[in-house]
Amino acid sequence: MSYFLINILLALLWASLQQFRPVDVIGGFLLGYGIIAALRTWLGGSARQYVRRMPTFALFVLYYIWELIKSNLFVIRALLRDPASLKPGIIALPLTAKTDLEIVLLNNLITFTPGTLGVDLSDDRQFMFVHVLDVPDPEALKTSLKFGLERRLLEVLR
């Protein structure tokens, strides 16, 4: 992960030598990424890992923004319709994530999306309890969270 910070520093350095427009920051970031990618053989294993993960991370961010917009629209629609027709509930999501960092990030991502809200974690860390605004089919939602958000998050982290 430290190469990510180096990449950001390179971007800021490049931007400060230009006029520091948003384009300069993005361009500097891409340039820095190119430099790290070109030097990865000499920088060693963690640089190679960073170069490989960065595109996955970018895809993940785009995917998450899309999910965010979708669920926002869903909640707006839900409250404009009759809120009494919703079927809220707390579901137990079985976790594949093991370490503290993975669980905290997954919880943040789930809670940040409107419509799902992390409530608790079981003592043995097997389940995360999530309050959902409208859950007609709990099993389908569990599968979609597991193979959507969690799988993609673990792809970036592992």
List residues near other proteins by CB under 8 A.
12, 15, 19-25, 68-69, 72, 75-76, 79-80, 83-84, 86-92, 107-115, 117-120, 122-123, 127, 129, 131, 133, 135, 138
Helix (H, G, I), strand (E, B) or coil at 116: strand
Give the distance between the most distant pair of CA atoms in the chain: 61
Closest listed residue to residue 58, CA positions, set 29, 28, 24, 23: 29
At closest approach, how far in Å is the CB of 40 from other proteins? 26
Q: Is the CB of 77 or the CB of 151 nearer to other proteins?
A: 77
Helix (H, G, I), strand (E, B) or coil at 69: helix
Q: Is the CB of 51 or the CB of 109 nearer to other proteins?
A: 109
Q: Is the CB of 89 or the CB of 148 nearer to other proteins?
A: 89
Q: What CA–CA distance (Å, rounded) separates 26 from 15?
A: 8
At closest approach, how far in Å is the CB of 154 from other proteins? 18
Residue with tokens 């503290």: 100
Helix (H, G, I), strand (E, B) or coil at 47: helix
At closest approach, how far in Å is the CB of 120 from other proteins? 6
At closest approach, how far in Å is the CB of 52 from other proteins? 23
